[in-house]
Amino acid sequence: MGLDKPVIAVVGTGAVGGYYGAKLAQRGFEVHFLLRSDYEAVRTRGLVVKSCEGDFVIGPGAVRAYDDTRKMPKADLVIVGVKAREDVKYEELVGPLVKEETAVLTLQNGLGNEERLAEAFGAGRVMGGLAFVCIDRPEAGVIRHMDYGYVRVGELVGKPSARTARVAEMFSSSGVKCDVLEDLRYGRWEKLVWNIPFSGLGTALDLTTDQILASEAGEKLAREIMQEVVATANAIGVKLPAEVIERMIRQTRVMKPYRSSMHLDRQLGRPMEVEAIFGRPLRVAREAGVGVPRLEMLYEVLSVVDGANQATKRRSDGATKG
């Protein structure tokens, strides 16, 4: 199959897409990068990765960079790394890359991304990946990898297949710890049990994970939010055990202080993925009739923070123009 010697396309070379794409390219895979604002920087200086595990560059002579999907070759694997915004047009962005056997792997955050890709390209193509990584893009063409990097991949439809194993192996052989998810939906909800309290409170309150857990009030609130997410998952048939909460609190206590990607988006004044990570789970809870007052309020305050961020950006854009 095409994944033996795959043509890989990274759509959305932000921090996440850029980092994993660069790791695969560094290993020798043929990776084509779709860029927008960073295109000129990557053409001239290459794709620079400043990583806690060692810096490297996919040099300007080696990097396959494009400013338009239509100029790219068809791919065996498309890795979707664009921000999980409501207004992304996947048909335009990904469509030209798709041939008969193309697999489409989304590394995006939150809920609903696989479903949107399935609508556009058929559910059978779609894979989902959960990226556990602390990463940002401090300037055009430069990715700063601060911590972690682990990926879990799974299939939208059915059980893991040879394809799933091969994709996991591609990552592993490129120095990215990766395993296969038996049940992608379970994995997504399990990640939300962590993400919603820690990314939510962290971003809204501007606190790192250790600061959230520094007080009894913080641990209590994180647990209560987790309980709301577990209850929602259970109500739609994703059977997360209650002990997942205990385990995540324990793991978070021993891990290095962490800022989520949404927290970094806030700090950099970028649009935040409030809908994908909070709005969609909230709608699932409402439809299932599960009371989630804390998730509700988190969604509201994050919308306020995102709104303030974007208003500041509009003002400074205006000031630059004026």
Cα torsion 102, 151, 60, 56 to 10°: value is -160
User: Residue 91 or 300: which CB sits closer to a second copy?
Assistant: 300
Structural contact between residues 75 and 7, judged by C-beta atoms closer than 8 angstroms: yes
Question: Checking DSSP bridges between strand 47-51 and strand 56-58, what pairing results, if any?
Answer: antiparallel
User: Residue 145 or 294: which CB sits closer to a second copy?
Assistant: 294
Active-site annotation holder among 71, 74, 83, 191: 191
Name the site residues for a second copy (rule: CB under 8 A).
201, 204-207, 211-212, 214-218, 220-221, 293-294, 296-297, 300-301, 303-308, 310-312
- List the alpha helices (DSSP H) in 174-292: 184-205, 209-212, 216-235, 243-254, 261-267, 274, 280-287
Q: Is 5 considered catalytic here?
A: no
Name every residue whose Cβ is closer than 8 Å to that of residue 215 and which is 6 or more positions away in sequence. none
| Least distance to a second copy, CB of residue 314, Å | 9
Identity of residue 240: L
| Least distance to a second copy, CB of residue 321, Å | 19
User: Residue 236 or 297: which CB sits closer to a second copy?
Assistant: 297
User: Residue 123 or 221: which CB sits closer to a second copy?
Assistant: 221
Of the candidates 194, 298, 296, the one whose C-alpha atom is nearest the C-alpha of residue 244 is 194
SS3 labels along 38-79: CHHHHHHHCEEEEECCCCEEECCCCCEEECCHHHCCCEEEEE
| Least distance to a second copy, CB of residue 216, Å | 7
| Least distance to a second copy, CB of residue 208, Å | 9
| Least distance to a second copy, CB of residue 306, Å | 8
| Least distance to a second copy, CB of residue 269, Å | 12
DSSP state letter for 298:
H
User: Residue 52 or 205: which CB sits closer to a second copy?
Assistant: 205
Of the candidates 267, 278, 228, the one whose C-alpha atom is nearest the C-alpha of residue 134 is 267
Which two structure tokens, joined as six digits, stand for 171?
Answer: 């990552």
Name every residue whose Cβ is closer than 8 Å to that of residue 303 and which is 6 or more positions away in sequence. 274
User: Residue 10 or 229: which CB sits closer to a second copy?
Assistant: 229
By annotation, the residues acting in catalysis are 191
